[in-house]
Amino acid sequence: MSPLRRFLRTPEAVAGAILLAALIAMALIAPLLFPGDPQAIAGPALLPPFQDWSLPLGTDRLGRDVLAELFHGARTSLAVGLAAAAAALAIGAVVGTLAGFAGGLVDEVLMRITDAFQTVPSFLLALAFVSVVGPSLGIVVAAIALGTWTGPARVARAEVLSIRERDYVASARAIGMHPLEIAFREVLPNALPPVLAMSSVIVAAAILTEAALSFLGLGDPNRVTWGGMIAEGRAVLRTAPFLSIVPGIALVLTVLGVYLAGEGVVETTAVRRSLS
Amino acid sequence: MSGFTISRRKMLVGSAMLLASTAMPKLALAQTPKKGGRLVLAADSEPRNLNPAIVASNGVFFISSKIVETLAEASFDGKDGLAPRLALSWEGAADGLSATFKLRDGVKWHDGKPFTSADVAFSALQIWKPLQNLGRTVFKDLASVETPDDLTAVFKFAKPTPFQLIRNALPALSSVVPKHIYEVGKIEDNPANTAPIGTGPFKFGEYKAGQYYRLTKNTDYWGKDEPYLDEIIYQVLPDRTSAASALEAEEIQLAAFSAVPLADLDRISKVPGLKVITKGYEGLTYQLVVEINHRRKELADLKVRQAIAHAIDKDFVVKTVFLGYAATATGPVPKNDPQFYTADVPTYAFDVAKANALLDEAGYKKGADGKRFSLKLLPAPYFNETKQFGDYLRQALAAIGIDAQLVNNDSAAHIKAVYTDHAFDLAVGPPVFRGDPAISTTILVQSGIPDGVPFSNQGGYKNAALDALIAKASETLDTTARTDLYKEFQKEVAADLPLINVAEWSFISVARDTVGNIANNPRWAVSNWADTYLAG
C-alpha cells in the first residue's frame, strides 16, 4: 500500500488535510477576494452575521468586515505559525546536532543553555520578549521560536548520539571529511525525520501563542490577527458574541487541522519505516 | 453635554420610567432617605497612594473623597458652581494678592482632634503647592497662609492670582489633611497616605490588595444626620466585562466611571432593577485629542494639520467609538463648560476631498502606491475608546494617503514614549478639563515645558502669540476679561491646531434602583457621598 493511500485511509488525517488545505486556500485567496486594507471601515458598526450578504459575517465595533478580517487573519496566523516553527526547528536541529556530534564541553554548554530555556515557560518568555522589544510580526515570530526550539534540539541530539556511531560516519571520518561537514551533511539529514515529526505540534502551538499574544495586545497592531479579533470582541461579548466566536472557531479548526494532518503524515511514515 | 447627549439622557430617563412602572413599590420607598446599609460598588483600579492632597486624580478621589474633604465641592445650582464643604465662604481681594476662607465650625478629624485653619495652612503650603500634581501650577505664587483665628485662613499670593482660578480649582485641588498627622516625618512616606485620615463622612476601614477597600461610617460627621450609609465596599473588579455581570447578579449595587462597557449599556438598561445614569460627571470632562509632534517637518506645516482635522469624521467617532455617549469637540474647552466655552472658532468639517487638496497644496503628492508619507501613531492605552479611536484614525489617514503605523504600548511605556522620548508623530491622548483652562489645559499647548511632564505640550510646538495670551490670562484678575482671553485662546488653538480636539466625553454610572441621591452634583462619583443612601 502506498503511503498516500494509507494516509487517505485514515479519516482524521483526511479531515486534517482538508482543514489545512482550506486554511491555506483562505490565506492565498484573501488578497484576491478582499483586495485593499481588511481593516478599512466597510459598513455600519456591529452588524450581526447573515444580515447583509455583502458583509456575510457582519462587522465589528468600527464597522470593519469580519469575513475580510478572518481571511486576512488566516495569512497572519499561518505565516507566524510556519515561520516560527521553521525557525524553531532550524535552531533546534543545529544546536542538537552540534551538541550531539561534538560531545564533551560543547555538549554540556549547549545542553545547559537548552535547559535554561526549557525551564522558563515558553509563553512567558515570548511575552517578556515582545513587551521589551516591541510588537511587530518578525519579533513575534522570533519570540515564539525562542521558546520552542528546545524540544527539537533535544530530539535531534538524541538521534545524533546514535547516528554518530554508525559505520558511514566512521568512514566519512576515515576519508578525512571536516567534522562540521560530517555533522551537517551526513548526520543531520538522517537525524531530521523524528525532529520534523514534531513540526505539527510546534506549528499548532505557535499559532496558539501568536493568538494569545495578540489577545493580550502584544501582536502587530497593523495586521489583522485572530487573537486580536477575539480581544476586540471581548468588550462586547454580551451584545455581539459572534465577534469573538467567529475567529475563535477559525482558530480551533486551524489548530486541529494542522495537528491532525501532521499526525497523519507522521503515522504514515512511521508505518512505512517499520515495514521497510 | 451636547444636545445629543441630553436627548440620550432623556431617553434613558424615559426607559427608567418604564421600568419604574413595573417596580412601583420599590421606587416609592426610594423617595425618603433611609439610614444604614452597605453599598458595594466596583473599583477598576487600586491606587497605592490614597492621599488626594498629593495625587489629585479621579482614581484617587473615587475612594478618598469620602474620607478626606475639600474646602468646597462642585454644585449644579450653587453660586459660581460651588457648594461649601470645609469652607463656608470664600472671597478674593480686588488686587488678587489674597483670598480669605471662613471655615466650618465643629468639624473633627477621624481621630477626634478638632479641624482648624492651621490644617488648611499646612495642607496648602506643605502639600498642595510643593507636592500636588495640579497644585504646583495653580498655587505656584502662594507665599503664605495667615490664620488670624481657628476658623479663618487667608491665602497670600506673591503675584496677583485670579480668584476665578482659585475658585474653580477648589473642588479638585483643595483636599485638607490633618497637620498633626503629617507634620511628623516625610510627607510622601506618611502612613496616612495609604490609610487616610480626614474629616469626611466615612473613615478608612481596611484595604485588601486585589480584593476590596472598606470604608466605615463616621459617627462624628458634621453633616446633620449624615452619612446615611453604614459602610462602603469597593470591590476590585479589574476586568471591565465583569462589572456588568456583578450588577446583574446583585453582587454590587453600583458601577461608576463607565465600568460597564458602553456597548453593554443598551442591554443593561433593559434589565429590571438597574438604571443607567449619564449625569453626575459634568465636572469631569475628558477630551479626545490628537497630539501632534511638530518636530516632524510634514506636521509642522499647518496645511497638513488642517488636512488631518478635515479627515476625521467627528460624528462617526461619537456615534461609533462612543456609541453616542460623547459630544464632538470644537476646541480646547469642552462644550459643557459654563464659564469659558465659545463656539466662535474655526471649525473643520469632515471633507476628504478638501483634505487631499490641502496635502497636495502643501507639496506632499501621492506616490505610486497612493501614499504620501508614513507616520507613527501611538494611541494611549488607558481607555478602550482611545485605542479604538487609534484604529479609526489609521483608517481616516489612509483615506487621505497618509500611512499611519500603530504602535501599542502599556501605560508606562506610552507616557515615556510620548512625553519623555518624543518617539511619536501622532498620539491619541485623553486630557481632562478641570473647570478652568489654567489648571490642566493651557499646559497642552504652552511652550517651554521641560521634557517628561506627562499630559503637557511635548510635541515641540511653539507659538509666541499663544504663549503671550496664556501668560496674560494667568495674571488677569477681572473675571470677564480673563474669560475673554480664554475665548481668544480657544480661537487661536483651533486656528493653528497645535493639537486636534476630536470629542469630549464623560462617564456613565449603572446602579440598582435602590441606590438613592445619585448624580446630584457635577462631580458626584468623586464627591463625599454623605447623602447617598440605600432604599429597600
B490-515 pLDDT, tens digit per residue, is 999 999 999 999 999 988 999 998 89
Per the domain annotation, does B38 fall within a domain? no
CA nearest neighbour of B386 among A44, A72, A69, A217: A217
Give the number of domains in chain A.
Answer: 1
B267 inside 8 A of chain A by CB: yes
The chain A residue lying nearest B392, using CA atoms, is A62
Q: Chain A: which residues have CB within 8 Å of chain B?
A: 37, 39-41, 45-46, 61-63, 131, 134-135, 217-218, 221-222, 234-240
Nearest chain A CA: its distance from B389 CA (Å): 9
- Counting one residue from chain A and one from chain B, the pairs whose CB atoms sit within 8 A come to 53
Does residue A53 fall inside a structural domain?
Answer: no
> How far is it, in rounded angstroms, from Cα B532 to Cα B524?
10
Does A239 sit within 8 Å of B264, measured CB to CB? yes
In this prediction, residue A275 carries a pLDDT of 56
Distance from CA of B428 to the nearest CA of A (A): 15
Per the DSSP assignment, residues forming a β-bridge with B100 are: B91, B154
Domain that holds residue A110: 76-260
Phi, psi of B465 (to 5 degrees): -65, -40
Cβ-proximal residues to B282 (8 Å cutoff; 6+ apart), any chain: B1, B74, B76, B336, B506, B522, B523
B264 is a domain residue: yes
Which residues lie across from B285 on neighbouring strands?
B433
Please tell me the total count of domains within chain B.
Answer: 3
Which residue in B241, B263, B408 is closest to A61 by CB distance?
Answer: B263
* pLDDT number for residue A272: 60
CATH code of residue B402: 3.10.105.10
- Provide the 3-class DSSP secondary structure of residue B152: strand
Enumerate the residues of chain B whose CB falls inside 8 A of the CB of residue A214. none
**B347 and B252, same domain (yes or no):** no
Residue pointed to by grid coordinates 499574544 = A213
Q: Which of B241, B392, B408 sits opposite A237 (nearest CB)?
A: B241
A45: nearest CA in chain B?
A: B320
Confidence band, pLDDT 50/70/90 cuts, at residue B14? very low
What pTM, to 2 d.p., does this model score? 0.83
Does a structural domain hold residue B57?
no
Give the gap in angstroms from C-alpha A116 to the nearest C-alpha of chain B. 28
Nearest Cβ partner for B388 among A40, A62, A217: A62
Residue B145: how many CA atoms within 13 Å on its side-chain side?
23
List chain A residues with CB under 8 Å of B240: 235
Note whether B324 contacts A: Cβ–Cβ < 8 A: no
Answer whether residue B336 is part of any domain.
yes
Does ipTM come in above 0.90? no
CATH number at residue A187: 1.10.3720.10
Q: Do A61 and B405 touch (CB under 8 A)?
A: no
Mean pLDDT by 10 residues, chain A (276 residues): 76 90 92 87 85 87 91 92 94 93 92 93 91 88 93 93 89 89 88 87 92 89 90 84 93 92 82 58
CATH code, B205: 3.40.190.10
Report pLDDT for A253.
Answer: 94
pLDDT digits (tens, 9 = 90+) for B256-282: 888 888 888 888 888 899 999 988 888
Contact indicator for A156, A191 with CB cutoff of 8 Å: yes
Tell if the CB–CB gap between B392 and A41 is shorter than 8 Å: yes
A222 to B406: CB separation less than 8 angstroms, yes or no: yes
DSSP A219: S
Whether residues B220 and B334 fall in one domain: no
CATH code, B184: 3.90.76.10
A45 min Cα distance to partner chain B (Å) = 7
Are residue B178 and residue B252 in the same domain, yes or no?
no
**Could you list the residue range(s) of the whole structural domain that residue B313 is in?**
285-506
Please report whether residue A87 resides in a domain. Answer: yes
H or E element, residue A71: helix A66-102
C-alpha cell at B165: 482660578
The whole-angstrom separation of Cα B210 and Cα A227 is 27
Inter-chain residue contact A39 with B395, CB threshold 8 Å: yes
Strand partners, B157: B142
Same domain, B441 and B525: no
| pLDDT value, residue B299 | 95
B23 pLDDT tier (thresholds 50, 70, 90): very low
Instruction: Tell me how many helices (H) and strands (E) chain B has.
Output: 18, 22
Same domain as B489, residue B388:
yes
CA distance B7 to B527: 26
Residue ending a domain, among B192, B208, B231, is B192
Q: Do A221 and B398 touch (CB under 8 A)?
A: no
Torsions phi, psi for A210 (to 5 deg)? -60, -45
Query: Which contacts (CB < 8 Å, 24+ apart) does range B45-49 have?
Result: B45/B238, B46/B209, B46/B210, B46/B213, B46/B236, B48/B194, B49/B193, B49/B194
Q: Quote the minimal CA–CA distance from B266 to chain A in Å.
A: 9
Residues B177 and B260 in one domain: no
Query: Per-residue pLDDT tens for B182-195?
Result: 988 888 888 888 89
Contacting residues of A for B398, CB less than 8 Å apart: 37, 40
